[in-house]
Structure 1
Amino acid sequence: MTTYDSGTSTALYVPPTWLRVLLGIVLILGGLFVLGDIGLATLVSTLFIGFTAIVVGAFEIIHAFWTKGWGGFVWHILLGVLYIIFGWMVVNQPVSGALILTFALGLIFLASGIVRIIVAFRHWAEAGWLLLVSGIFSILAGLIILSGWPASSIWVLGLLLGIDLILHGVAWLTYAWAPSARTA
């Protein structure tokens, strides 16, 4: 089905309802599968992140050759090498990689929660309370991860992946059954 963006003549492709439902179900089942063994999911996620960093580093180095000027060239090469070293270390030591990634994730949750709370009060009139709630949950998640670290490294990445897959699946099912999308 083709629909048009309101106010423009830009055509937007809306996948058929059956495809949206199927994607939602597959994502939910994938999330439940991941939650069945979050330790294994954490290990697989860590390896995936490591291999991704290696590929990104290689592309960064290749991209350096199209950069104008030596300053940009050197920075791209350096960044690419750092990506590759990080990825190689994570792939060769996935348990240590999970420790590092979990600690970094805890810090990111903590920092983003603080920022969301500050922004919430600045934009209180525009549903800032939602940002406040989100910020509080983010801080709590960061504190839970960091207070349980390094033991939390065994389950955090797998748990978050499972939850994300389930929520993504629910979002697709909601989109499939939304009144505005039913005509597909």
Structure 2
Amino acid sequence: MVDKSVIHSSPHLTTTSWWGALLLGLVFIAAGLFILGDVALATVISAVIIGFALLVAGVSEVIHAFSAPHWRGFALRLLIGVLYGLCGVALIADPLAASLVLTLVFALALIVSGVMRIFQSFQYWRWAGSLLLLSGLVGTLAGFVILAKWPVSGLWVLGTLVGIDLLLHGVWWIALGLQLRREPRTAEP
């Protein structure tokens, strides 16, 4: 069930036609299926896009560090900008090798965050702690599966995650479109 207060409080959603939401959902699903058709290529493309984003962020941080040197943390901001830039260049220069490293870091992050959620689930048991426990177990297991298949998993993990994300986002847009079609909308004053 879609929360009506969200729909009525957002001018974008009140002016979006239900069929526009359905169409957008279909576009997301088609893009997700396309990416899942060749996850290795999608992984490399994702690494290059992330590389350009890091490069732009790094250059921006360095420019900002020099344009406002009187701000505290000049050296730290400069260092962060240089590191972002170097990581961006590394991703662009060799996206396949960088994908392997990103996948390793991602697997380790899944394991660490999963273990943390497992411990927290007992602390928050009264507030759906069982769901937090399940989330922690799934995250930890996923991290170990990716780690067990590493470095080969570096060829498919990023592309698979992007494809699944697009599919799920597309399903949400379709569900929203169907909900908008069923519920009459009133214009906000």
Q: Could you say whether these structures have the same fold, taking a TM-score greater than 0.5 normalized by the shorter chain as the test?
A: yes
Shift of 1:178: 3.0
| Match in the other structure for 2:111 | 110
Distance (whole Å) between structure 1 residues aligned to residue 38 and residue 71 of structure 2 = 48
State how far apart, in whole Å, the 2-side matches of 1:79 and 1:86 are. Answer: 10
Task: Give 1:133's aligned amino acid.
Answer: L
Deviations 1:134-170 (A, max 9, x none): 1111111100111110011111111111111101111
- Within 2, Cα distance between the matches of 1:168 and 1:5? 17
When normalised by structure 1's length, the TM-score is 0.88
Gaps of 5+ in 2: none
Give secondary structure in 1 for the equivalent of 2:10: strand
Flag the 1:32–1:5 CA change in 2: closer, same or farther, 3 A.
closer
1:39 aligns to what?
Answer: 40
Residues 66 and 118 (structure 1), Cα distance of their counterparts in 2 relative to 1, 3 Å cut: farther
Aligned length: 179
- Give the drift of 1:31: 0.4
Native 8 Å contact 1:17 1:182 kept in 2: no
Could you tell me whether the CA contact under 8 Å between 1:120 and 1:129 is conserved in 2?
yes
Q: What does residue 19 of structure 1 align with?
A: 20
Ranges in structure 1 where 5+ consecutive residues have no aligned partner: none
Partner of 1:54: 55
Q: C-alpha separation between the residues in 2 aligned to 1:69 and 1:84?
A: 22
Q: Which amino acid aligns with 2:113?
A: S
Cα RMSD between the aligned structures? 2.2
Aligned identity (percent) is 42
How is 1:1-184 mapped onto 2 (pairs within 5 angstroms)? Answer: 11-13=9-11, 14=13, 15-65=16-66, 67=68, 69=70, 71-178=72-179, 182-184=183-185
- Distance in 1 (alpha carbons) for counterparts of 2:74 and 2:120: 37
Q: What is the TM-score normalised by the length of structure 2?
A: 0.86
Distance in 2 (alpha carbons) for counterparts of 1:181 and 1:71: 54
Q: Are the equivalent residues in 2 in contact too, given 1:176–1:182 (CA < 8 A)?
A: no
CA apart distance, 1:45:
0.6
Greater displacement, 14-23 / 130-139? 14-23
How far has the Cα of 1:176 moved from its partner?
2.2
Asked if the contact 1:34/1:158 (under 8 Å) is kept, the reply is yes
| Structure 1 CA distance for aligned equivalents of residues 100 and 111 of structure 2 | 17
**1:179 Cα shift?**
6.6
SS at match of 2:146: helix
Deviation of the 1:43 alpha carbon:
0.6
* 5 and 19 in structure 1: CA distance in 2 versus 1, 3 angstrom threshold: closer
Distance 1:157 1:25 in 2: 22
